[in-house]
Amino acid sequence: MVKVTAAEVNELRKKTGAGMMDCKKALVEAEGNMDKAIEILRKKGQKIAEKRADRDSSEGAVVAKISDDNTRGILVSLNCETDFVAKNDSYKAMAQEIADAAINTNSKEELLEVSLGNLTVAEKLIEQTGVIGEKIEIGGFEVIEAPFVGSYIHGNKIGALTGLSKAVDNAAEIAKNVSMQVASMGATTLSYKDFDADYVASETEARIAAIEKDNIELGRLGKTLKNVPSYISRAQLTDEVLAKAEADIKAELLAEGKPEQILDRIVPGKLERFISDNTTLDQEQCLLDQNYIMDDKQTVADYVASKNVEVVGFKRVSLA
């Protein structure tokens, strides 16, 4: 049997990240040839990867990389099987290394072909599957380009990128705050103006049906019924709809005996409540129409407008 020195084992360990005993066994099998030992470890990774291909890889680390000029950003999730592995500093460092190398790529497929030393990212993942013993793969990949791009990562589990229309003062803070909103509230589009009319119509029908079904059970239990909205998006609140809502509010207040001279002080608040009750889809899915998490008295659109800038795009990657 070929004798292997501690220095050779340590060198192989540094090159591959494999455990000491795995490195020693690979070197012995390779009769001391470093390149053959690396190939042996890589083949071990391929075998483990094949065996674990159907395993769930819902743990891992989400990382971001922003270009030096802040005009481009990427999000990558490096997925694994257990939280134990995901919390390892070397694992998080590998995720960041992959993101750093991928800053100029445009897709997951391109990312997998990027070189990391003498390996591609795809080969590195297979190698590390052998080292760690878990399925490791690129889960999410997103890229955004804008005059200014900033990011936010929440607990290594959720990441968001925000593109701003220009590099204003405190652009990094603004982009981070909006990215925090994206990470927290999970918007899917910028504004209600982006919605397709057919989608809004089908969602309205489905939501009203769901509330009415809930109300049947609530009524049976003698509990307060949920409000059944007529609309779910600002896209449906035309000038005519809002004018009618305002007229109905005034009529209701007069019927309650409220003096006409004070209606102007009451109606705006009531109308805002009407809009809030009838824009639930926007509040869930539209970033600019959501209440700003750091000040729920304003929307995200209000916040960025106060900073003399616009949000031109956003991306989100989550392990869940």
Task: Look at residues 166, 185, 204 and tell me which one is the last residue of a structural domain.
Answer: 185
Query: What's the number of domains the chain is made of?
Result: 3
In this structure, are 69 and 176 located in the same domain?
yes
CATH number at residue 12: 1.10.8.10
In this structure, are 67 and 178 located in the same domain?
yes
In this structure, are 81 and 132 located in the same domain?
yes
In this structure, are 240 and 143 located in the same domain?
no
Q: What is the 3-state secondary structure (H, E, C) of the chain?
A: CCCCCHHHHHHHHHHHCCCHHHHHHHHHHCCCCHHHHHHHHHHHHHHHHHHCCCCCCCEEEEEEEECCCCCEEEEEEEEECCHHHHCCHHHHHHHHHHHHHCCCCCCHHHHHHCEECCEEHHHHHHHHHHHHCCCCEEEEEEEEECCEEEEEEECCCEEEEEEECCCCCCHHHHHHHHHHHHHHHCCCECCHHHCCHHHHHHHHHHHHHHHHHHHHHHHHCCCCCCCCCCCCCHHHCCHHHHHHHHHHHHHHHHHCCCCHHHHHHHHHHHHHHHHHHCCHHHHHHEHHHCEECCEEEEEHHHHHHHCCCCEEEEEEEECC
pLDDT digits (tens, 9 = 90+) for 118-145: 788 998 888 888 777 888 899 999 999 9
- Answer yes or no: is 317 within a domain: no
- Answer yes or no: is 201 within a domain: yes
In this structure, are 134 and 173 located in the same domain?
yes
In this structure, are 96 and 166 located in the same domain?
yes
In this structure, are 132 and 206 located in the same domain?
no
- Answer yes or no: is 170 within a domain: yes
CATH number at residue 81: 3.30.479.20
- Answer yes or no: is 34 within a domain: yes
- Answer yes or no: is 1 within a domain: no
Range of the domain at 166: 59-185
In this structure, are 22 and 80 located in the same domain?
no
- Answer yes or no: is 124 within a domain: yes
In this structure, are 223 and 258 located in the same domain?
yes
- Answer yes or no: is 104 within a domain: yes
Per-residue pLDDT of the chain (320 residues; tens, 9 = 90+): 667 787 877 777 777 766 677 777 777 777 778 778 777 777 776 666 566 667 778 899 999 999 999 999 999 999 999 999 899 898 999 999 999 998 999 999 999 999 888 788 998 888 888 777 888 899 999 999 999 999 999 999 999 999 999 999 999 999 999 999 999 999 999 999 999 999 999 999 999 999 999 999 999 999 999 988 899 999 999 999 999 999 999 999 999 999 988 999 999 999 999 998 999 999 999 999 999 999 988 999 999 999 999 999 999 999 96
Q: Which two tokens stand for residue 271?
A: 């109308």
Question: From CA 34, how far away is CA 57, in angstroms rounded?
Answer: 31
In this structure, are 201 and 295 located in the same domain?
yes
Task: Look at residues 185, 217, 242 and tell me which one is the last residue of a structural domain.
Answer: 185
Task: Look at residues 149, 165, 185 and tell me which one is the last residue of a structural domain.
Answer: 185
In this structure, are 122 and 17 located in the same domain?
no
- Answer yes or no: is 320 within a domain: no
Residue with tokens 């694994």: 80
